[in-house]
Structure 1
Amino acid sequence: MSIITRDTDTLTIAGAVERLMRDGMPFRFEAYDGSSAGPEDADITVRLRTERGLAYLMTAPGDLGFGRAFVAGDLEIEGVSLANPYDLMTLVQSRLRLKVPGPAELLQIVRSLGLSNLKPPPPPPEEHLPRWRRVVEGMRHSKARDAEAIHHHYDVSNRFYELVLGPSMTYTCAVFPTEDATLEQAQFEKYDLVCRKLGLGPGDRLLDVGCGWGGMVRHAAEHYGVKALGVTLSEQQAQWAQQAIKDQGLDHLAEVQFSDYRDVSESDFDAVSSIGLMEHIGVRNYPDYFAFLQGRLRVGGRMLNHCITRRDGSLSPKAGAFIDRYVFPDGELAPVGTIVSAMHDHGLEVRHVEDIREHYALTLQGWSQNLEEHWDEALGEVSLGIAKVWGLYMAGSRLAFERNEIGLHQVLGVKVGPDGDAHMPLRPTWGS
């Protein structure tokens, strides 16, 4: 039951929050005014510590307000790991149901919580500019604005990424050959599967766009004898990748450049791989993206596009407010059908499509475990706020993949010659 003060027209914070719960409070809730609600023996306690946290929740209801209060330390969660709040996310998704109060009840709740809290406090320093403010920086997905968006997320600390991603330094969905495979085995299998789908062999030339820390170019060079060029908009990634290439003795075959993929002037590549880039380019730019990469291929060359996808086309391509402000500014997702159509319409015949959605849930589980195991060292590399962002977003993303809210598709296309020869085998040769 809600805790109500002697003035029956005024609710405590816990009472007001409980009023919004359609099926009751699924966890223990405690507020700085001394009020509480929810089961006393709950495994998880959510604690609102400050008035600023209340203002965050009131001025940005939903994931953004919660994220702000959590990242700033105004909202504490007891009973789950900061590095891996998966249990809380699962509980919220499965049991928390909000109701829409009528005008009179809503007014009572707002008055009880304080009209002064409808003034937004400054956001935490970890938050990126809102979309309307980014317009000042340039048109969405211009080269300058894309570079800033990539810098926001990827130029954090290479050591931090080593702790989270593990030795492979691979920040994309792995492919688990078996359920008990390690994360490193699964990342090896992902790169190898891409190489096999692209039909790579000694002497072939590969362009890997959005190459990250060079995992794909290093794998293709080392295991397939390929001459590989990778490009990334993250300067820290490029520096790390070039050192790794040198350490592995692959200088004669592999190279990673700090560059926009649109600035690649070379052509006649045997293959192009795009692993985790398309989420950053914008749906309206798909035609130019595929036309440009098709133009880098020789006739008979293959392209493998690997990216996160929307479940269906009825949903907005834009990321949610929390993800957009804290994780992937300007990120957009589309259904796989949109991707297939764009490839077909711009010179690439689609020959194979594969959904590996469940594999991304397993990948995120591994990254979350890594962050949890290396939490103290991670805090030596990034702020507590950034570490919290990572814990929250990876746990939430894992749940989204498990619940089929988003997917991960690999789409293989080929540049067919004027005679109709696709230079492809009659049946797939790459196995599982």
Structure 2
Amino acid sequence: MTTFRDRSDVFAELGTKLTIAEIFETLLDGPVPISLSAHDGSSTGPADSKYSLEILNPRGINYIATAPGDLGMARAYISGDMKADGIHPGDPYEILAAMGEMRFRRPSALALVTIARSLGWDALKPIAPPPQETLPRWRRIALEGLRHSKTRDAEAIHHHYDVSNKFYEYVLGPSMTYTCACYEDEGQTLEQAQENKYRLVFEKLNLKAGDRLLDIGCGWGGMVRYAAKRGVQVIGATLSAEQAEWGQKKVVEEGLADLAEVRHSDYRDVRESNFDAVSSIGLTEHIGVQNYPSYFGFIKGKLRDGGLFLNHCITRPDNTRTTKAGDFIDRYVFPDGELIGSGRIISEVQNTGLEVLHEENLRPHYALTLAEWCKNLVENWDACVAEAGEGTAKVWGLYMAGSRLGFQRNVVQLHQVLGMKLGPNETWDVPLRPWWKA
């Protein structure tokens, strides 16, 4: 039986033109799950839908038709050429959930002819994406070097983290912590849960006053300051100049300069060694899976015998899928980001000669964290737009709400892996059973 979407090939042969709503249907593999309308007066999807999308102008359908999928939809939405009704742009979680399993497909050659004839060939010429979008992977090689070179990593971090410290203060809250919190229960506030996360990491690393900690990918220095307040000597390294400036200023303001430093540095350039512990909270996503051996080898080389390390990062639920991020995440959020399952991470840790002592999955905790960040963005929307622009604020709402769904639906997970560098006698220097409060 010929479906409506299959008829685009027939229409091409007959010379029939499609409405924009029909073009949208042609690009989907399945029904339109919410109401959609367009500037030509056409519409599709359930009329009683609580949420709706409206394509406002030719540029909006150009973005969608030339990049069917999350990238094209994001371009149209971020640029203001498509609007979403029934949601706040700071938290589009509900409409994303309603769109559910909506999947785009590549139209056939005949369908492309129909689309081009319907819109006009000039309407499908490539146009510049929104300014928030970074270069495609192939162009980054030419301009920034090979994937995960120091230069290219620095540019990727700059793209994401050097938006504006003030913007992050609005979104992240007082802790300025941009990693998964750890909730004792769902009644905890975001700040309580972030403090609890640092407490958990500190205790897992068995730190005490007088110890030395290296925190790689330290962000704005939350872990650095937490440990320093408890008498630990800490070096934090971040590739973001704005993070380092903010974090070091906070270290000084809190009277911790004798114990702590937030350093603007690639972690690979840290020369000090013989640390009692190394923490890596939210860095592994930027490393590149092929670089795991050198990454964990670096950690091993920085630890004293008997020293502990903790790796906290987003993972996939298995170890078989592609490691590369989707187009929207790669171009708007985490350029060159890569994810793999916790099994691969543990294997690489072990292959480096480190011993894994414990691992746990905090997947539901990240969904809770992201919901709170979206709430902050909504509450501070006008200030965030004034600080970073409406397009950037939309990117963050879309990314965080979509990520919340991803953690809820087990598309991604969050794992903490605790390990040790064994000494010559291969014995543990820690208690026989977990010594931290879960």
| TM-score normalised to structure 2 length | 0.94
2:347 aligns with 341
Q: Using the TM superposition, name which of 113-122 and 48-57 deviates more.
A: 113-122
Question: Are 1:194 and 2:189 matched, yes or no?
Answer: no
Cα separation, 2, equivalents of 1:68 and 1:46: 14
1:347 CA displacement? 2.5
- What residue in structure 2 maps to residue 293 of structure 1? 299
Paired with 1:91 and 1:113, the residues of 2 have a C-alpha distance of 28
Distance in 2 (CA, whole Å) between partners of 1:279 and 1:21 is: 31
Quick check: 1:267 aligned with 2:261? no
Separation in 2, partners of 1:101, 1:240: 48
Matched, 1:55 2:56: no
CA distance in 2, matches of 1:17, 1:191: 47
Alpha carbons of 1:149 and 1:44: their partners in 2 closer, same or farther (altered >3 Å)? same
Q: Does 2:387 correspond to 1:375?
A: no
* Distance (whole Å) between structure 1 residues aligned to residue 28 and residue 308 of structure 2: 52
Q: Is residue 140 from structure 1 mapped to residue 147 from structure 2 by the alignment?
A: yes
Q: In the alignment, is residue 278 of structure 1 matched against residue 321 of structure 2? A: no
Where does structure 1 lack aligned partners over 5 or more consecutive residues?
A: none
Contact 1:80–1:87 (8 Å) recurs in 2:
yes
Partner of 1:42: 49
For residue 143 of structure 1, what is the amino acid of its counterpart? Answer: K
Q: Which residue of 1 aligns with 2:24?
A: 17
Aligned identity (percent) is 57
Residue 413 of structure 1 is matched in structure 2 by 419
Question: 2:423 & 2:313 partners in 1: Cα distance?
Answer: 26
Hey, what's the Cα distance between the residues in 1 that align with 2:249 and 2:304?
30
Q: What SS class does the counterpart of residue 380 from structure 1 fall into?
A: helix
Task: Kindly indicate whether residue 402 of structure 2 is the aligned counterpart of residue 396 of structure 1.
Answer: yes
Map of 1:157 onto structure 2: 164
Unpaired segments ≥5 residues, structure 2:
none
1:385 maps to 2:398: no
> In 2 relative to 1, CA 257–20 (structure 1 residues): closer, same or farther, beyond 3 Å?
closer
Supply the distance in 2 between the matched residues of 1:340 and 1:364 (Cα, whole angstroms). 26
1:249 counterpart letter in structure 2: G
The residue type paired with residue 396 of structure 1 is G
Maintained 8 Å contact 1:59/1:117 = no
- Give CA-to-partner distance per residue, 1:124-170, whole Å, 9 cap, x none: 11110110011011111111111111011111110000000000000
Find the partner of 1:77 among 73, 84, 88: 84
Instruction: Output the amino acid matched with 2:379.
Output: E
Secondary structure at the residue paired with 1:308? strand
- Aligned residue runs from structure 1 range 312-323, under 5 A: 312-323=318-329
Aligned-residue offset at 1:193: 0.1
CA contact (8 A) 2:68 2:104 kept: no
- Of 323, 334, 355, 1:328 maps to 334
Q: Distance in 2 between matches of 1:26 and 1:346?
A: 48
CA distance in 2, matches of 1:148, 1:380: 24
Distance change >3 Å, CA 414–CA 122, structure 1 → 2: same
Note the alpha carbon deviations across 1:273-292, whole angstroms, 9 max, x for none: 00000100111100000101
Letter aligned with residue 96 of structure 2: M
Q: 2:311 is paired with a residue of what secondary structure?
A: strand
In the other structure, the counterpart of 2:94 is: 87
In structure 2, C-alpha distance between the alignment counterparts of 1:55 and 1:314, rounded to whole Å: 34
Specify whether residues 175 and 17 from structure 1 end up closer, same or farther in structure 2 by C-alpha distance, changes over 3 A only: same
Deviation per residue, 1:174-210 (Å, 9 max, x gap) = 0001111000000000000000000000100000000
CA distance in 2, matches of 1:301, 1:379: 45
CA contact (8 A) 1:58 1:117 kept: no
Corresponding residue of 1:168: 175
1:116 has 2:122 as partner: yes
Tell me the distance in 1 between the aligned counterparts of 2:162 and 2:98: 33
Supply the distance in 2 between the matched residues of 1:174 and 1:349 (Cα, whole angstroms).
Answer: 25
Superposed CA RMSD: 1.9
> Partner amino acid for 1:354?
E
Q: What residue in structure 1 maps to residue 242 of structure 2?
A: 236
- Distance in 2, Cα, partners of 1:240 & 1:84: 27
1:271 partner letter: A
Q: How much does 1:44 deviate?
A: 1.2
Counterpart Cα distance in 1 of 2:148 and 2:373: 28
- Three-state SS of the structure 2 residue aligned to 1:149 is helix
Q: Distance in 1 between matches of 2:148 and 2:325?
A: 15
Deviations 1:84-105 (A, max 9, x none): 00011101125x3557766655
SS at match of 1:430: coil
Contact map agreement 1:353 1:411 (CA 8 A) in 2? yes
